[in-house]
Amino acid sequence: MFENYSDEPIYNVKAVVGQSGVTASTLRAWERRYGAPTPPRNTNGYRLYSARDIAVTRWLKAQVDAGMSISQAVNLMQIETHAATVIERVDPAKKMPAAPGQGGEGVRHVQQLHDELVACALSYDESGAEKILSEAFSLFAVEDVCLQLLQPVLVTMGERWHRGETSISAEHFITNIIRRKLLSLISACPPPNRSERIIIGCAPEEFHEIGILLLALFLRRRGLNIVYLGQNVASARLEETLAMVRPAMVILSATTIQSAAHLLETVELLVLHKAHTVTIAYGGLVFQYMERMRAHIPAVYLGDDLIKGIERTIEILDDPAAAPVVCEPVPATVKSAADIYDKRQAEIVLRATHEMLTEIPGQSAPLHHHIFEHNRQLAMALGTALRFGDPQLLTQLVLDGWSEPSLLEAIPNTREEHDLAGYITHFRNAIQQIVPDSANRIIQSYLDASGGGVAV
């Protein structure tokens, strides 16, 4: 973006102020907060700027004068610079070609790379997968490879598994290869140019980390100071880490209804102890589909995609007050009922499953597993609705079916005892027998309040 300007440091601050129109104090603030520009110093400790630094400063001032905030201008510059960065030995102007014939002779298009990487995953070909990844990252910008190749490959592998076309082992195999590559890219980043630390990790019981790992990589490539904690970050350990690291921000991720409930509990715990010093944010696939959950989490939602997450994170770092948190607190009585329910959930599932099986002649192992699994899904849905204090979530979780296939789709209606109403009836009975009266009334009310969606 500024490759044609000399990077020889020969100009003092006065010269830069005269040529750019930016005051000396503003220059220092931009350097301190955003690392743009970051001039070296001479033997006497005075800053010396290059023609490239002056060009950067002029460009930033023009964006600010046009109405951008300085953080937005720096972010835009970094994105455009990364898009044009020379990656190892290849022409920086190249983008990932989407189809044959694009990108020049001999350059393979993204669908070809995608298909070959999927083939390597299915055949457990580690060296082949590594070769394809090395080729992609040597040819194209890191962000392009991550968004246009790696994410689609993981989606394809997940869809193949759900259709029964491959094993979960193959999906885990390629996921771990990609994970290893992303971690190496983070390690290869230059030192951060901002001092504020950001803790990033997965909520308790969350093991799908590629999305949050991509966010950590992209933020790190933009000069932010990332402390990446990985999968399944326990609440108690996170509190200890906060006390040691003293971050400006914590970002947590969840992709399942179970981990979303754990994320809520973790955020509530952090808010209780650290609300005055730390901005807490979150994201993840489950919150895109279950938007109702967002209203009950006392933290900042970063958005539905990685680019929005990057922009929102930088905006919050620049001005924490720009991220007000508005949520509907869960009543203490419902929290108490949720705690009791969680402790007895396994027993409820077993009781409901047993009652259903006693009414069915000619039981078989597959049938037993089928009924148990759907009672378990119903139990998770009800537990999540209680934890978020929102009975309408139960309808959405059961009918829309966060799991694959959805609970309603998976239950055959060929026999009365197999339909959804049959599951609900036996589940109600099990709760009535196991849960104490005070909590029982609240839990039953959630089944009632969910309306015709559940009580069919």
Regarding predicted confidence, which is higher, 110 or 105?
110
From CA 382, how far away is CA 444, in angstroms rounded?
Answer: 10
Whether 55 shows a pLDDT value over 50: the answer reads: yes
Contact, 435 vs 442, CB < 8 A?
no
Q: How far apart are CA 214 and CA 257, in angstroms?
A: 21
Confidence (pLDDT) at 242: 87
pLDDT digits (tens, 9 = 90+) for 126-179: 999 999 998 888 888 888 899 889 988 998 898 888 788 888 999 999 999 999
Q: Which long-range contacts (CB under 8 A, 24 or more apart) does 170-174 make?
A: 170/121, 170/122, 170/124, 171/121, 173/121, 173/124, 173/126, 174/117, 174/118, 174/120, 174/121, 174/129
The boundaries of every CATH 3.40.50.280 domain in the chain are 194-322
Instruction: Compute the distance between CA of residue 155 and CA of residue 20 in angstroms, rounded to an integer.
Output: 47
Q: Residues spanned by CATH 1.10.1660.10 within the chain?
A: 13-83
Give, in degrees to the nearest 5, the angle at Cα 431 between 448 and 358.
Answer: 110
Cβ atoms of 395 and 454 closer than 8 Å: yes
CATH 1.10.1660.10 fits 13-83, yes or no: yes
Residue 337 or residue 417, greater confidence: 337
Q: What's the fold here for domain 332-453?
A: Globin-like (1.10.490)
Q: What is the CATH architecture assignment of 194-322?
A: 3-Layer(aba) Sandwich (3.40)
Q: Of 74, 63, 80, nearest to 20 (Cα)?
A: 63
pTM: 0.70
The string of DSSP codes covering 97-161 is -SSTTSSSTTPPPHHHHHHHHHHHHHTT-HHHHHHHHHHHHHHS-HHHHIIIIIHHHHHHHHHHH
Q: Provide the percentage of residues in the chain whose pLDDT is more than 70.
A: 85
Residue 351 banded pLDDT, cuts 50, 70, 90? very high
Query: Quick check: 407 pLDDT over 60?
Result: no
**What digits encode the pLDDT tens for the residues 360-386?**
766 667 777 888 888 888 888 899 999
Residue 304, C-beta contacts closer than 8 angstroms, at least 6 positions apart: 288
Instruction: List all residues 6 or more positions away from 345 whose beta carbon is below 8 Å from its beta carbon.
Output: 379, 383
Q: What are phi and psi of 228, to 5 degrees?
A: -95, 125
**Does residue 411 carry a pLDDT above 70?**
no
- pLDDT above 70: residue 85: no
Domain with CATH 1.10.1240.10 in the chain: 90-188
**Mean pLDDT, the chain, whole residue set:** 82
Q: How confident is the model at residue 299 (pLDDT cuts 50, 70, 90)?
A: very high
90-188, which class in CATH? Answer: mainly alpha
Task: Assign 400 a pLDDT band (cuts: 50, 70, 90).
Answer: low
